[in-house]
Amino acid sequence: MTDAAPTDTPAYAGPRRILSGIQASGALHLGNYLGALKRFTALQDSGAPCFLFVADLHAITVWQDPALLAAQTREIAAAYIASGLDPATSTIFPQSAVRAHSELAWILNCVARLGWLDRMTQFKEKSGKHKERSSVGLYTYPVLQAADILLYKATEVPVGEDQKQHLELTRDIAAKFNTDFSAPGFFPLPEPLIQGPATRVMSLRDGAAKMSKSDPSDQSRINLTDDADTIAAKIRKSKTDMGVMPAPGESLDDRPEVRNLIAIYAALSDQTRDEVTARFAGQGFGAFKPALADLAVASLAPVTAEMRRLMDDPAEIDRVLKDGAERAAAIADPVVDEVKQIVGFWRS
What is the set of active-site residues? 126, 210, 213
Nearest to 25 by CA among 67, 73, 66: 73
In angstroms, the CA 262 to CA 250 distance is: 12
Q: Which 3 state secondary structure label does DSSP give 128? A: coil
Q: H or E element: which one contains 93?
A: strand 91-94
Residues with Cβ within 8 Å of 186's Cβ and at least 6 positions away in sequence, in order, are 12, 177, 178, 338, 342
Q: Which 3 state secondary structure label does DSSP give 158? A: strand
Please report the DSSP string for 34-76 in residue order: IIIIHHHHHHTTSSS-EEEEEEHHHHTTS---HHHHHHHHHHH
Nearest to 47 by CA among 67, 84, 17: 17
For residues 89 and 50, is the Cβ–Cβ distance under 8 A? Answer: yes
What is the arrangement of strands in the sheet containing 191-193, beginning at the earlier edge strand?
91-94, 50-55, 18-23, 156-158, 191-193
Q: H or E element: which one contains 226?
A: none
Phi/psi region, residue 124 (left: phi>0; alpha: psi -120 to 50; beta: rest), is alpha
Dihedral through CA 264, CA 267, CA 268, CA 271, nearest 10? 120
In angstroms, the CA 78 to CA 72 distance is: 10
Nearest to 342 by CA among 104, 182, 187: 182
In angstroms, the CA 151 to CA 161 distance is: 23
What single DSSP character describes residue 131?
Answer: G
